[in-house]
Amino acid sequence: MRGRITSGNPGRYRFAHLGPGAALSFPLGALYNEQYMAIGEGTLVGEGVSLAVGWPDEDFGEEIVLRIGRGCSIGRGSHIVAHLRVDIGDDVFFGPYVYVTDQNHGYVALDTPIGRQDAEDKPVTIGDGCWLGVGSVILPGTTLGRNVAVAAGAVVRGSFPDHCLIGGVPARILRRHHDEDGWRADLQAPNL
């Protein structure tokens, strides 16, 4: 079945905010706890995208846990999973199958299955104008500055400045804009 949720139909009332011109395409992936999500004006969410805050029916009070800015495009099959805070700026573009999360499971308790260990939450911030390439993964605690391009398949953790190209596993800065001489390769060590 094809369809969409827009600011012009009753589905919008499930969200904390769904801006004018925003649309979520059907079929969606997982979608729950919409009351803790704010999606900005003109943002388009592709087919098969999962938007999840916490666990189904978890109570976050009055908090906005997942914010997607204005004019964004969330590519088909992407997943955004927020437990603490995921903040995506304006004009951010996701390729297909991007994964963003602010939570990792623990693994140190040897007698407890990893999926049952206490999780660690760290907020994620993606700055205005970023591009996230196909299949990239944004891990807890990541901060991307403005206009950061993330290469396809990159696994990103750490903080990255404005105006850079990052890629690899783990991601590192590949090129960066310098005021004095423009874009150039940057041989920086991985941001761990």
Instruction: Determine the Cα–Cα distance for residues 37 and 73; give it in Å rounded to an integer.
Output: 16
Instruction: Determine the Cα–Cα distance for residues 25 and 133; give it in Å rounded to an integer.
Output: 20
As beta bridge partners, residue 137 has 99, 155
Is 105 among the residues known to form the active site?
yes
Instruction: Determine the Cα–Cα distance for residues 44 and 183; give it in Å rounded to an integer.
Output: 31
Instruction: Determine the Cα–Cα distance for residues 110 and 11; give it in Å rounded to an integer.
Output: 44
- Which of 17, 79, 105, 177 is flagged as catalytic? 105
Q: What are the residue numbers of the active site?
A: 105
